[in-house]
Amino acid sequence: MHILVTGGAGFIGSHVVDRLVAAGDTVRILDALLPAVHRIRPEVNDAAELTVADVTDRSQVEAALDGVDAVCHQAAMVGLGADLDDLPAYATHNDLGTAVLLAAMAGRGVRRLVLASSMVVYGEGGYRCPVDGPVCPGLRLPADLDAGRFEPPCPCCGRPLESTLVTEDAPLDPRSVYAATKVAQEHLAAAWAAVTGGSVLALRYHNVYGPRMPRDTPYAGVASIFRSALERGEPPRVFEDGGQLRDFVHVHDVAQANLHALRYPGAPGELIPLNIGSGEPHTVGDMASVLAQAFGGPMPVVTGSYRAGDVRHVVASSARARDFFEYQPRVAFSDGVNAFACDPLRS
């Protein structure tokens, strides 16, 4: 196939490009090489054709779509960001960029899209109350967090909740600017599919880590923040009590999921969301300890402090992706994190 990978010089996109090239696909990359992510110019796969341009640039996007069968849209600003000064940049890169891409695809007759979405569209993960059954907890209150009460209570009866796997039919509850832009991307892509008869697979990545992860910036995930601290000789600083659950999925598994998704025909006129996780929930405390151990210390410090807006537990059910295209994560947590202790981070 002839595939355009937007953001193909980035952390996840570059692994997708490598897989596609290895599988014999013809790959074109459109990447703005944003300085917030790329402090130095990254290497890209020689076999791919690189256009350095922003996805908001309609004429460049149209040129990049020439002869393309499918688009893998990875270009985005990710993470929590620095502050609300970032808001216009998030909306521009993520939502205006997606709108320009979709309009150009409609004009050029390209009908297949794989969209990089995120588990942040859910807000909190799945929860069950022993009395009220499945529930969606609200925002955690500062008074509770200050007192070290990190678990969100049942919104109906206040009892403690059990964390459950989040499935794709969970309500959307974006709780950050980034999350709001990811929800908007999905909605724009769904509207595009309905009008054009195109098909979209929205891959809701859980917490991705692995080689080429950017060094810690306000836009980096926790694995990179911990790894960068270790490189500086500092202990990873674990927020809350370290018991928050995440689904840490290795970038090689995420790249493979993209390869499968690009080959899957999808449903004309529809957007299908699919969780892409590891099937192996771990706490943030586990991530810090296993990584610190593999790096040779220093061991993590659990701070008891918290980050405003963070959710407590999010763990994926990846059953739907498994049913659709036999998605099977292969990198076990201990193997992936031990290797990540030595993996090069991107500067």
Among 8, 10, 13, 79, indicate the residue that binds ligand UD1 (CB under 6 A).
79
Amino acid at 246: R
| Burial readout 45-69 (b: 16 or more C-beta within 10 A, e: otherwise) | beebebbebbbbbeebbbebbeebe
Q: Is 246 in the site for ligand UD1 (CB under 6 A)?
A: yes
Among 90, 127, 239, 325, indicate the residue that binds ligand UD1 (CB under 6 A).
239
Contact letters for ligand UD1, residues 113-142 (x by CB under 6 A): -----x-x----------------------
Q: Output the smallest distance, CB 236 to ligand UD1, in A.
A: 7
Which one, of 125, 116, 115, 120, lies nearest residue 170 by Cα? Answer: 125
178 is catalytic: yes
Q: How far apart are alpha carbons 127 and 142 in whole angstroms? A: 20
From 178, 219, 306, 327, active-site residue:
178
Among 105, 222, 255, 331, indicate the residue that binds ligand UD1 (CB under 6 A).
222
* Cβ pair 176, 112 in contact under 8 A: no
Of the candidate spans 39-47, 192-200, 237-245, 318-326, the one that interacts with ligand UD1 by CB under 6 A turns out to be 237-245
302 phi/psi in degrees, rounded to 5:
-95, 115
Q: How far apart are alpha carbons 294 and 288 in whole angstroms? A: 10
Q: Is 238 in the site for ligand UD1 (CB under 6 A)?
A: yes
Q: Output the smallest distance, CB 222 to ligand UD1, in A.
A: 3
129: β partners: 133
**Closest CB to ligand UD1 among residues 193, 238:** 238
Q: Is 249 in the site for ligand UD1 (CB under 6 A)?
A: no
Token pair for 344: 């090069």
Site for ligand UD1 in 148-177 (CB under 6 A): 175-176
* Cβ pair 213, 220 in contact under 8 A: yes
Which one, of 206, 48, 222, lies nearest residue 116 by Cα? Answer: 206
**Active-site residue list:** 178
- Can you give the binding site for ligand UD1, defined by CB under 6 A? 78-80, 118, 120, 175-176, 178-179, 207, 221-222, 225, 237-239, 244, 246, 284, 307, 309-310
